[in-house]
């Protein structure tokens, strides 16, 4: 097959959607090298060349279009798809080019989440309107829709009235580095580098309102002798969290870190007592996969997809109930045997999100689409 991707995020975004794009493309190249992969990108950014080539190291796959036209990804790319004689086009991040049907090329779109519809309060009117138009159109015109979780699949059916039979759930894994065990030298290095306390609860993800880490800080009032460390991009919400900690005598036990490189994160996970992810809503919840691979017990939130990513041996709480969260944290900190069981069973469960298994599931979707021509 000749498979094309809108790879702008793969070469310019080094967080969630960019990570997904690189995960898909690099693993397809690894496990299915006989296909031809074409990455449609407007321009290879000079400042990220090394990062891009580390993840996608074959320049022959680039279909470079040195254009700065603002609508190239939605309109202009159609001509380029025709020129490359693509068999299948995969929109990796909630959208497909307009008039994709005119190319005669089969198409697949990955929908990561519809949080902008489920929780519109977290988005501006302009943003959620744009996201909605793109995602709805893509779901309607795609030959197959890939949802990153059963939760996202349910949302697609609910909000866009898409036939469930048209939607395939294909999970995503995490960087292999989380499966490696850091030695004591590395653990001590990160502890000193970030001034980490001896015992702490960890959360990782953008520090914004939807991620809801204030719940964990509130829970600290009922959890003695433990610190809370949150790692992620600081947004305005971070100031709210710090103000609450300061006003409630918790500032010495709350630590917010940003710009922590990937090479340090696994060691930080591995020295944490617990991983807490009280997000109000997620499309999937990759940080939970990272925690399970790191051998850390997980407490997630009910109400979206986190039971899928965390599995039956993780603990889930009401994302609005800090008393329940505190109770569960205290229970786990006091029960060494329970934590050991959660770690053991979590490592078993997370195998379903291996690179090979996720990529095989994706190729099954591709095969079904192309064979229907």
Q: What is the pLDDT along the chain (373 residues), one digit of tens a residue?
A: 999 998 766 665 556 666 888 889 989 999 999 999 888 877 666 555 555 555 455 555 544 444 455 566 677 678 888 888 899 999 998 999 998 988 899 999 999 999 999 999 999 999 999 999 999 999 999 999 999 999 999 999 999 999 999 999 999 988 899 999 999 999 999 999 999 999 999 999 999 999 999 999 999 999 999 999 999 988 899 999 999 999 999 999 999 999 999 999 999 999 999 999 999 999 999 999 999 999 999 999 998 899 999 999 999 999 999 999 999 999 999 999 999 999 999 999 999 999 999 999 999 999 999 997 6
Strand order in the sheet with 315-317: 254-257, 227-231, 200-204, 274-277, 298-301, 315-317
If asked whether residues 365 and 330 sit together in one domain, one would say no
Both tokens of 212, joined, read 């809801």
CA end-to-end span of the chain, whole Å?
A: 13
330 lies in which domain range? 176-352
User: Do 197 and 212 fall within a single domain?
Assistant: yes
Q: Is 45 helix (H, G, I), strand (E, B) or coil?
A: coil
User: Which pLDDT score is estimated for 54?
Assistant: 53
Query: Angle 327-122-163 (CA atoms, 0-180°, nearest 5)?
Result: 95
Question: Distance between CA 40 and CA 184 in Å, rounded?
Answer: 43
CATH number where 97 lies: 3.40.50.2000
Determine contact, residues 302/325, Cβ cutoff 8 Å: no
CA distance 94 to 172: 15
Residues 293 and 240 in one domain: yes
Residues 237, 321 within the same domain = yes
223 in the same domain as 116: no
Q: What pLDDT sits at residue 66?
A: 46
Whole-angstrom CA distances from 199 to 18, 202, 269, 271 are: 32, 10, 12, 8
Residues 6+ apart with CB under 8 A from 209: 122, 237, 240, 280
Strands 274-277 and 254-257, bridge-based pairing: unpaired
Query: Does 133 share its domain with 236?
Result: no
What is the per-residue pLDDT for 23? 87
Is residue 230 domain-shared with residue 144, that is, in the same domain? no
302 & 216 share domain: yes
Helices and strands (H, E) in the chain, number of each type: 16, 13
Residue-level length of the chain = 373
Question: 266 and 126, same structural domain?
Answer: no
Shared domain for 130 and 241, answered yes or no, is no
Q: Are residues 94 and 136 in the same domain?
A: yes
The total number of structural domains in the chain stands at: 2
Q: What's residue 222's pLDDT? A: 97
Q: What pLDDT does residue 9 have?
A: 62
């Amino acid at each position: 097959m000749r498979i094309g991707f809108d790879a702008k995020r793969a070469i310019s975004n080094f967080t969630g959607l960019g990570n997904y794009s690189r995960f898909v493309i690099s693993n397809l190249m690894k496990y299915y090298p006989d296909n031809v992969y074409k990455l449609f990108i407007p321009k290879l950014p000079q400042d990220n060349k090394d990062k891009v080539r580390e993840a996608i190291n074959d320049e022959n796959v680039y279909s470079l279009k040195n254009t700065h036209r603002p609508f190239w990804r939605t309109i202009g790319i159609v001509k380029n798809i025709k020129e490359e004689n693509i068999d299948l086009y995969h929109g990796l991040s909630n959208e497909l080019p307009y008039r994709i049907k005119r190319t005669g090329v089969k198409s697949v779109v990955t929908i990561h989440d519809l949080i902008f519809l489920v929780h519109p309060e977290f988005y501006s009117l302009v943003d959620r309107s744009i996201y909605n138009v793109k995602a709805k159109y893509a779901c309607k015109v795609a030959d197959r829709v890939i949802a990153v979780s059963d939760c996202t699949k349910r949302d697609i059916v609910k909000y866009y009235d898409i036939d469930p039979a048209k939607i395939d759930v294909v999970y995503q894994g995490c960087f292999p580095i989380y499966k490696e065990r850091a030695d004591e030298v590395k653990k001590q290095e990160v502890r000193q580098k970030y001034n980490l306390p001896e015992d702490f609860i960890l959360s990782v993800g953008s520090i914004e309102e939807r991620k809801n880490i204030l719940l964990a800080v509130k829970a600290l009032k009922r959890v003695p002798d433990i610190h809370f460390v949150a790692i992620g991009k600081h947004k305005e919400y971070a100031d709210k969290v710090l103000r609450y900690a300061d006003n409630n005598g918790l500032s010495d036990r709350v630590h917010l870190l940003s710009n922590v490189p990937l090479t340090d994160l696994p060691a930080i996970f591995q020295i944490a007592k617990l991983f807490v992810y009280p997000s109000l809503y997620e499309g999937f919840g990759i940080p939970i996969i990272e925690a399970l691979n790191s051998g850390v017990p997980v407490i997630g939130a009910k109400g979206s997809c986190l039971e899928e990513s965390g599995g039956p041996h993780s603990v889930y709480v009401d994302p609005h109930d800090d008393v329940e969260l505190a109770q569960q944290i205290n229970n786990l900190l006091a029960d060494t045997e329970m934590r050991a069981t959660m770690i053991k069973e979590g490592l078993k469960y997370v195998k379903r999100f291996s690179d090979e298994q996720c990529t095989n599931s994706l190729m099954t979707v591709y095969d079904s689409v192309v064979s229907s021509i």
